[in-house]
Amino acid sequence: ADLHDRFAFNTAISGLMEMTNAIYAYREKQHAEQNTSALVLAEAVQKAVLIIAPFCPHLADELWSRMGHPRSIHLEPWPAYDEEVAKADTVEIVVQINGRVRDRLEVPAGISAAEMEEVAMASEKVQALVAGKQIVKVVPVPGKLVNIVVKG
């Protein structure tokens, strides 16, 4: 969506790098367990090549050809995905105290603002930094951050 709607190439490239890292991690795990999943890896690499086609059309077409596909990659359909499966189970939120980042926490995706506030306030780092200070306000932004304003 970012690439099409806002021409945000950096977001798309970042996603490709995450996918590449996941492929490498999977390969290393399979190698360590001496489990050969060549078909899974081949499919993942083929999907990655399909996805790079808009950015590197000639390279993608050459790679596609070398993978044994007889027709151009540009005639292939875009990879389909299940949005529900693609959703993250957890998200990283930032905890700020007086506007400065003091902690990063993994929380379940879809957590409520009240639950985010509770998790942030339970953090050992946060407790140490607000100890003996008056908490003026706590502003949770769901899925992103919790800002704690303290005095003293």
Class of the CATH-defined domain 90-151: alpha beta
User: How many Å apart are CA 130 and CA 100, to the nearest integer?
Assistant: 13
Average pLDDT, the chain: 89
Asked whether the beta carbons of 114 and 142 are under 8 A apart, the reply is: no
Q: Which fold has domain 2-85?
A: Isoleucyl-tRNA Synthetase; Domain 1 (1.10.730)
pLDDT digits (tens, 9 = 90+) for 32-41: 776 667 788 8
Q: Are the CB atoms for 144 and 93 separated by under 8 Å?
A: yes
Q: Do 60 and 75 meet the contact criterion of CB atoms below 8 Å apart?
A: no
The pLDDT tens digits for 35-66 are: 667 788 888 999 999 999 998 999 999 999 99
Q: Where are the beta strands (DSSP E) in the chain?
A: 90-97, 100-108, 134-141, 145-151
Break the chain into its structural domains and give their ranges: 2-85, 90-151
